[in-house]
């Protein structure tokens, strides 16, 4: 059974860089059929897709954070990562990683990690 687990600092200072890693177990990140994604959810709010990547490094970025975000993949470690530059308190959120399925027509997120809360505060 495929599982995803987010990891990274829970507290980041304003203006610094947020870095998170998603470790995939129970399956290979090198699957040619799937993309991998980061999504975030500010406290008490809805879901916001950040970026997606596949095993060969093809990337897609959402509009709201595009200029500050980098997504990358490490197939040797079965991991993919997120970097968000110049964070502010507005970037405080639970960050989720997920696999994308059925992208021949429209992608769906399944499964999801449990999420990790990142707080931006001095």
What one-character DSSP code corresponds to residue 26?
S
Q: Is residue 48 part of the contact set for another protein (CB under 8 A)?
A: yes
What letter does residue 42 receive in the DSSP assignment?
-
From candidates 27, 68, 78, 115, binder to another protein by CB under 8 A: 115
Indicate the residue among 80 and 109 with the shorter CB distance to another protein: 109
Q: How many CA atoms lie within 13 A of 2 on its CB side?
A: 20
Among 32, 106, 121, 122, binds another protein (CB under 8 A): 106
Among 9, 26, 57, 111, binds another protein (CB under 8 A): 111
Q: Tell me if 46 contacts another protein by CB under 8 A.
A: yes
Degrees (nearest 5) of the Cα angle 76, 81, 85?
145
| Rounded Cα–Cα distance for residues 71 and 50 (Å) | 9
Binding flag, residue 112, another protein (CB under 8 A):
yes
Does position 108 bind another protein by CB under 8 A? yes
| Helix, strand, coil % in the chain, rounded to nearest 5 | 5, 50, 45
Q: Which residues lie near another protein (CB under 8 A)?
A: 46-49, 52, 60, 62, 96, 98, 101-102, 105-115
């Amino acid at each position: 059974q495929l599982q995803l687990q987010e990891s990274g600092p829970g507290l980041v200072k304003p203006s610094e860089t947020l870095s998170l890693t998603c470790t995939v177990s129970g399956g290979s990140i090198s699957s040619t059929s799937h993309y991998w994604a980061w999504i975030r959810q500010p406290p008490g709010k809805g879901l916001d897709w950040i970026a997606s990547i596949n095993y060969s490094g093809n990337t897609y970025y959402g509009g709201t954070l595009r200029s500050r975000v980098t997504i990358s993949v490490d197939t040797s470690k079965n991991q993919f990562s997120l970097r968000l530059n110049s964070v502010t308190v507005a970037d405080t959120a639970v960050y989720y990683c997920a696999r994308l399925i059925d992208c021949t027509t429209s992608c769906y997120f399944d499964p999801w990690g449990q999420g990790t809360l990142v707080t931006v505060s001095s």
